[in-house]
Amino acid sequence: MVYIKKLSEHVDEKVTLKGWVYNYRSSKNLYFIELRDGSGICQCVVARDEVPDEAWQGAESLRQESSLEITGTVVEDERSIGGYELQVTDLNVIQVAEDYPITPKEHGVEFLMENRHLWLRSQRQWAAMRVRNEIIFAIHTFFQNEGFIQMDAPIFTGNAAEGTTTLFETEYFEEQAYLTQSGQLYGEAMAMAHGLIYTFGPTFRAEKSKTRRHLTEFWMIEPEMAFYDLNMNMDLAERFVKVIIGRVLENCENELNILERDTENLKKAVEHDFPVISYTDAVENLKSDETAQMLDDMMESRKQEKEDLAKEKEELEAEHGQAKKWRKAQIDQRIKDIAARVDQIEEDLRNIPEWKKSAREFEWGADFGGSDETILTMQYDVPILVHRYPAEIKAFYMKRDPEDDKLALAVDMLAPEGYGEIIGGSQREDDLDVLLERIHEHDLPENIFDWYLDLRKYGTVPHSGFGLGLERTVAWLCGLHHVRETIPFPRMMGRLRP
Ligand code: 4AD
Ligand code: MG
């Protein structure tokens, strides 16, 4: 058995492929089967005169997603999907599939989510999972090359690291337990044993947010480094993200094509420095006249684009009547794309005035909302690092800025193109007494942190770390609007199945 991905090594050879019917069409004495085997798609041509009768009957019985074995000669064919074609000499049906619910016609996203177990077979979903895999591999490679040790934090925990409001509670025999929302506190203990560590595990948040950026179960990568200050932390985060993007660009060209991802900005992110901005400067930026002007200009250019698209649509509709069949299909596709773009523009036209208002009225001390992040990042094509947030809105474990006690030595990385925060991190408070004070200020029970406080008693050192959200990173690199398509079986508010 040969995998489609490896067909280039078998040109002019006879091979057997095993897979499923992705698509098919027939003419009188020919069947064109697009076979998918998990590694790729290959067009297989069955000619009535070239195969035994049973094979021809088998081909005639095929339906979408039927499973089969197929034997034939590999020929190079540039026009063919994947660049190779199989000239079939034999074919053996394993199962004729029942009517497959996901047909090439369009389906609503709710229907597709209900059928996530099957939707995973579709090309775009396939491509997104391959990019996810590449990102995971790149993450491990990066840290392993840098001398980090991968260690796992527990999923059941007895302590609420960042407050209890967003924790899933569960029963642990007779005790109250929570599902972890971050491996960080354990990561700190592990860093004191190994110096450089990273965790890679599922984390859980019971936030009642139904946004395109929120899952209730997501995967987080959390490096923790002894003897790192905030600057070293930020440098590492930037190098890390650059390597991930570089690897995806290098190894996922086909997948990014399938996803129709414009890679211009991704290439820029590999090559250019990420702007580093303090929270205070970011607030000033939000409130500035320049930003208000930028949003006004954006409104104008969106309106203009909408008019241009309306005109183009009219012209296309006028052409449609006399057009040839192939051209009609082209026109239909373009009209569909225009409709989708106009929907987006209308959403922007509704949103931008509100964004402008909330940016103008933003007050120092508040947390950035999704629209504030979008406004800040759309001024750059590459991610930005925002540092030194008001301590009040950040977690108890963050170290204060020695230059200004109101600020925490925190950093967030905000991705461009509206993808928002992909990394959150900080330098940690390493002084026992200050940390105790913070725990009291935050009304956290001291006794559950006894082990964590030990780290400040026995050889405390400056240390830092951050957490990267895997799904938001996949969404950004794939150009997917919603994180629900970045994980095999998403868990979000209102979705626990399949
Ligand atoms: O900013 P967060 O909450 O940081 C922490 O949990 C720290 N303890 C990390 C550390 O310093 N070790 O989360 C980190 C990242 C976010 O930037 C975001 O990318 C992702 O995790 N994230 C989510 N992704 C999907 N759905 C959610 N509900 C998410 N919440 C956070
Ligand atoms: Mg955060």
Ligand nearest to the CA of 212: 1
User: pLDDT averaged over the chain?
Assistant: 94
Mean pLDDT value of segment 127-150: 98
* Calpha distance 388→399 (Å, rounded): 10
**More confident: 63 or 82:** 63
- Digit-coded pLDDT (tens) for 254-306: 999 999 999 999 999 999 999 999 999 999 999 999 999 999 999 999 999 99
Assess whether the C-beta atom of 157 lies below 6 angstroms from ligand 1: no
324: which 2 tokens? 């040839």
416 C-beta closer than 6 A to ligand 1:
no
Ligand 2 center from residue 156 Cα (angstroms): 21
Regarding whether 326 and 466 lie in a shared domain, the answer is no
Q: Which atom of ligand 1 is nearest to the CA of 220?
A: 21
Q: Is the CB of 471 under 6 A from ligand 1?
A: yes
Q: Please indicate, yes or no, if residue 56 is contained in any of the structural domains.
A: yes
Question: Which of 168, 182, 188 for a ligand 1 pocket mutation test, highest count of atoms within 8 Å of Cβ?
Answer: 182
What pLDDT, on a 0 to 100 scale, did the predictor assign at position 388?
Answer: 98
More confident residue, 371 or 413: 413
- Residue 215 in contact with ligand 1 by CB distance below 6 A: yes
Domain-embedded: residue 75: yes
Q: What is the mean pLDDT of residues 88-115?
A: 93
Q: Whose CA is nearest to atom 7 of ligand 1?
A: 467
110 domain-assigned: no
Report, as an integer, the average pLDDT of 466-476.
98
Residue 492 included in any domain: no
Smallest-distance ligand from the CA of 466: 1
- The verdict on 79 and 202 lying in the same domain is no
Tell how far the Cα of 395 is from the centroid of ligand 1, in angstroms. 12
Inter-CA distances, 155 with 46, 186, 245, 303, 492, Å: 52, 11, 29, 49, 18
Using pLDDT thresholds of 50, 70 and 90, give the confidence band for residue 170: very high
What residues contact 45, with CB distance under 8 A and at least 6 apart?
30, 31, 32, 33, 72, 85, 86, 87, 88
Ligand nearest to the CA of 389: 2
State mean pLDDT over 468-481.
97
Ligand nearest to the CA of 467: 1
The helix (H) or strand (E) run that includes residue 111 is helix 109-114
Please tell me whether residues 323 and 196 are part of one structural domain: no
| Ligand 1 atom with least separation from CA of 468 | 15
384 Cβ below 6 A of ligand 1:
no
Residue at 439 is within a domain:
yes
Asked if the structure places residue 491 within a domain, the reply is no
Residue 459 and residue 353 share a domain: no
**Confidence (pLDDT) at 89:** 97
The preferred substitution site among 220, 387, 421 for testing ligand 1, maximizing ligand atoms within 8 Å of CB, is 220
Domain count, the chain: 3
In terms of domains, do 411 and 344 share one?
no
Same domain, 290 and 408: no
One-character DSSP codes across 373-424: HHHHHTT-SS-EEEEEEEGGGS-TTBPEETTEEEEEEEEEEEETTTTEEEEE
Residue among 61, 82, 83, 85 nearest 73 (CA): 85
Structural domain span for residue 26: 4-95
CATH assignment of the domain containing 459: 3.30.930.10
Distance 246 CA to ligand 2 centre (A): 24
Q: Is the CB of 394 under 6 A from ligand 1?
A: no
Burial class (CB in 10 A: 0-12, 13-18, 19+), 67: middle
Pocket of ligand 1, candidates 185, 216, 218, 398: which has the most ligand atoms within 8 Å of its Cβ, to mutate?
218
The angle subtended at Cα 24 by Cα 119 and Cα 481, nearest 5°, is 30
Amino acid 80: pLDDT: 83
Q: Structure tokens of 187?
A: 């990561």
| DSSP secondary structure, 316-362, as one string | HHHHHTT--HHHHHHHHHHHHHHHHHHHHHHHHHHHHHHHHHHHHT-
Note the pLDDT tens digit of each residue in 359-373.
999 999 999 998 999
Quote the distance between the C-alpha of residue 460 and its chain's center: 36
| Residues 312, 255 share a domain | no
Atom of ligand 1 nearest to the CA of 483: 25
Apex CA 492: angle with CA 486 and CA 497, to 5°?
90
The CATH code of the domain that includes 37 is: 2.40.50.140
Q: Which ligand is nearest to the CA of 420?
A: 1
Please check whether residue 127 lies inside any domain of the structure: yes
Closest ligand, as measured to the CA of 367: 2
Per-residue model confidence as pLDDT tens digits over 233-251:
999 999 999 999 999 999 9
Between 26-40, 441-455, 474-488, the lowest mean confidence (pLDDT) is in 441-455
Q: Are residues 196 and 254 in the same domain?
A: yes
Residues linked to residue 171 through DSSP beta bridges, in sequence order: 176
The answer on pLDDT for 158 being more than 90 is: no
Report the separation in Å between the CA atom of 432 and the middle of ligand 1, taken as the mean of its atom positions.
Answer: 25
* Residue 105 in domain: no
Residue nearest atom 4 in ligand 1 by C-alpha distance: 424
Residue 253 and residue 141 share a domain: yes
pLDDT of residue 6: 95
DSSP string, 28-93: TTEEEEEEE-SS-EEEEEEEGGGS-HHHHHHHHH--TT-EEEEEEEEEE-TTSGGGEEEEEEEEEE
Query: For position 162, what pLDDT does the model report?
Result: 61
Shared-domain flag, residues 267 and 409: yes
**Do 63 and 187 lie in a common domain?**
no
Task: Report how far ligand 2's centroid is from the alpha carbon of 68 (Å).
Answer: 48
Ligand 1 atom, smallest distance to 184 CA: 12
In a shared domain, residues 196 and 236: yes
For the stretch 195-209, pLDDT in tens is 999 999 999 999 888
**pLDDT value of position 160:** 66
CA 401 from chain centre, in angstroms, equals: 32
Q: Supply the residue whose CA is at minimum distance from atom 9 of ligand 1.
A: 467
